[in-house]
Amino acid sequence: MGFNVEDIRAQFPILSRKINDKPLAYLDNAASAQKPLAVINALKDQMGTSFANVHRGLHTMANETTEAYEGARTKVAKFLGAPKPDNIVFTRGATEALNLAAYGLAHTIEAGDEIILSQMEHHSNIVPWHFLRERKGAVLKFVPVLDNGELDLDALKSMLSSKTKIVSLVHMSNVLGTINPIADIAPWVKAVGAVFVVDGTQAAVHMPINVVDLGVDFFCMTGHKLYGPTGIGALYGNAEMLEILLPFNGGGEMIEDVFESHVTYNDPPHKFEAGTPPILEAIGLGAAIDWYSQFDPKDVHQHEMAVYYHALDGLRDINSFKLIGDAPNKGSVLSFNLEGAHAHDVAQILDKYGIAVRAGQHCTQPLMTRLGIHSTARASFGIYNTLDEAERLVAGVKKAAHFLS
């Protein structure tokens, strides 16, 4: 399908809504994206025509639903460039995927072992590793962020050693928009024998992903930022790592046999999917991937960055405007502050004009501390945003600057 933003917008019913009698300009995509009719209808059709619990059932609808659910796993595997569907574990989102990785690797960690993170990580890629610090005596080290929002790669290289057991980094920052060179970092991590975990929550929406080419051991994504449902995500693991990983939850489906004396586990990925899985959500994620995959990723990226730079060019004319994160290689996330104004006040004023942005720490308190700020306002652009919406953002921020000066 050719890229035409108006045709794309017509597929999102919610974008016709008005907020405070103004047309909605939804610029909060880094938090969660809106859903196209293809996803809405896929969920409705599955619920209305063929739904049952998956696996083990012998009746027609159980088989149909299982086929759709496992078909979604195949779509995720192809989307991420995974060798086979069995490399994909369905989770409730990227947060659960990272927790699964941390919990499942805990038995490989001893007191004094080092886990390397970065100052730009989302709390979801910090807190699970703190669990290993608390419970196993691991040492957490944080790669510094440079003033322009880039990762300090020289510092990262110097931190790697024989003590390093896990490196877990974000691919694309949800605040700075910085895109980290994961494929370049992977050989450094492998050289010291460490496990490489990557938070791909933002990256999977804004660039093509091939986990094999990236050289990672684990890679997580979520559905709701990829124009799919909430409550669904995925953890990619290479075959070797999935064998090492211990299960996170226990119950039905993840076991092979259960005895009074012991249990034996199912093979990956089912080993990690206890109980009734998020069936409809997974099918909805598959529909979102089908919908999104009809576009050329280069066209999507070019469009999103055109909207980003159109907004940025206008905002730079505001004297009190300060951009947060200006790395040369970044995605369409525009975090900013107005001197003397609180980000929450800026967001509330923009809402009066129908413009939805996020304000706060964006679950990145260590990054805020590093940058010496309390919070930011954040406009994040997606496939359906327009140059007109960028201009509306600029006009709204100018009004906010005037009101709050």
220 counts as catalytic: no
- Are the C-beta atoms of 362 and 174 separated by less than 8 Å? yes
Residue from 363, 373, 395, 404 carrying the catalytic annotation: 363
Tell me which residues are annotated as active site: 363
